[in-house]
Amino acid sequence: MLSKPAGPTGASAPPADAISARHSTTGAALRIAGLFLVALALCVFVYLVRAVPGAWFPSAMQKAWTAESLSLPRGNGRVVDGEVVVTGPDANGLTLVSTTVDFKSSDYPVIAWIAIGLPEDADVHLIWRSNYAPERLNNIPINVEASRSLPTTVAGNPAWVGQITGLALGIRGPITQPVRIRGVVAKPMGAWETIQDRAREWFAFEPWTGTSINTTSGGADVQAVYLPVMLAAAVALAALLAYAIMRRKTLVFGLPIASVLVALFFGAWLLLDVRSVVNLARQTDVDARRYAGKSLADKHLSAEDGNLYAFIQQSLPLLPRTPARVFIGADDDYFRGRAAYHLYPHSAYYEPRSSTLPPASSFRAGDWLLVYRLSKLQYDAAQALLTWAGGQQAHAQRVLSTPNAALFRIE
């Protein structure tokens, strides 16, 4: 009886049905991936239609003015390491940072001040002067998010005409922390520049924070459009397109619509995971350069809570040898938790969700209180008296102190 000859290794060739199934699966995957890319491109196009304020392909180039070219006619501050560091307003509560410029208004529809440390409720304005009405100062509000100034679209403003001769950043009201201003940028904001800005936001390095173990924001702290939102829109559009196509051509994907939806969802999820893995690799490199070759103590000193760790190391010899009750106060919940960790095996207590110290009735003689960057606490050394929120008071001796921390023994 004749039989089909074996292959070169003696193994039988795979069945034709298996080859067909593999090719069919690969083809379906490629068609789904292509559909997703088309949907993503359409979503980006729709976004650009809404977001680009002027010409899609402008001839003007971006212009930037650094801190060295800025002046501070109103307010207090100085240039430090390439930034104008504003420490307070003038006597009228006004801060004004300005620079002289010369460009055509129609070429630059977006102005971006690079300012960090602004109060969330700050009254911030973009101010400009043009040769159309040189004696007039024009202004428009600047939105603030995550203590940063957002780019401001001035296209369409009736006063944004002629040749712009001066730009200024105005802040009205108190400044509770230093505001750092790196400069100002005039943007043509065409389609390609808009795409580049979004890509920089999406793939910006995101250092680890106290919440990184649970969530990551996916790039820059402030984004015009978050990458998960864009991918979710692309998945939804691709699903609608797939459904429309499959109603006309049932076998175009070779899969039921539910399988196509699952494939689209996990494909988008995979893209987000790739971004996270790349970010993790960058963070690993940062940590390796920070901690490699150091002793355990030096690693602690190099960490974000290094100053706190150093203060607690000074405090530990002053505490009893046997575990004592130590209350912890700090404005930031991260430092409260880290202080408790560094104080073990002492019986450390802190409020996980509030910077308020417990009532005075919770303290007893012999207890200890360690505070780090706690603003709502006053100490009268003459009376050895602590006072905090709600008029709570307790007698205590200050055993150790630095500009940001103190250790007290309750009496």
Q: pLDDT for 265-289, tens place per residue? A: 999 999 999 998 998 999 999 999 9
The Cα–Cα gap between 70 and 245 comes to: 58
Q: Is the pLDDT of residue 410 over 90?
A: yes
What is the CA angle 148-154-159, rounded to 5? 130
- Rounded percentage of the chain residues whose pLDDT exceeds 90: 59
Q: Which of 53-57, 148-152, 250-254, 374-378 has the lowest mean pLDDT?
A: 250-254
Q: Is the pLDDT of residue 15 over 60?
A: no
Q: Is the pLDDT of residue 93 over 50?
A: yes
Q: pLDDT for 137-150, tens place per residue? A: 999 999 988 888 99
Helix 257-291 to helix 16-51 angle (10° resolution) is: 70
Band (pLDDT 50/70/90 cuts) for residue 19 is very low
The Cα–Cα gap between 157 and 136 comes to: 15
Band (pLDDT 50/70/90 cuts) for residue 353 is confident
The Cα–Cα gap between 280 and 291 comes to: 16
Averaged pLDDT score across all residues of the chain? 87
What b-and-e string marks burial along 91-112, b requiring 16 or more CB atoms within 10 Å of the CB? eeeebbbbbebeeebebbbbbb
Polymer length of the chain: 411
- Rounded percentage of the chain residues whose pLDDT exceeds 70: 91
Band (pLDDT 50/70/90 cuts) for residue 253 is low
Higher pLDDT: 218 or 68? It is 68
pTM (2 d.p.): 0.69
Q: Is the pLDDT of residue 313 over 90?
A: yes
Q: Is the pLDDT of residue 173 over 80?
A: yes
Mean pLDDT, range 115-121, rounded to an integer: 85
Q: What share of the chain is helix, strand, coil (3-state, %, to 5)?
A: 35, 25, 35
What are the angstrom distances between the C-alpha of 92 and each of 49, 172, 179? 43, 9, 18
Q: Which of 83-92, 207-216, 269-278, 374-383 has the lowest mean pLDDT?
A: 207-216
The Cα–Cα gap between 370 and 405 comes to: 7
Whose tokens are 């401001």? That residue is 152
**Alpha helices, DSSP H only, in 318-370?**
333-343
State the CB neighbour count (10 A cutoff) for residue 391.
7
Q: pLDDT for 187-246, tens place per residue? A: 999 999 999 989 999 998 888 776 666 666 778 777 888 899 999 999 999 999 988 888
pLDDT confidence of residue 244: 87
pLDDT confidence of residue 329: 93
Q: Which of 120-129, 182-191, 216-225, 349-358 has the highest mean pLDDT?
A: 182-191
pLDDT confidence of residue 12: 54
How is residue 255 annotated by DSSP?
Answer: S
How is residue 373 annotated by DSSP?
Answer: S
State the CB neighbour count (10 A cutoff) for residue 14.
10
Dmax over Cα atoms in the chain, in whole Å? Answer: 112
Mean pLDDT, range 250-278, rounded to an integer: 84
Mean pLDDT, range 376-403, rounded to an integer: 92
Whose tokens are 């979503």? That residue is 43
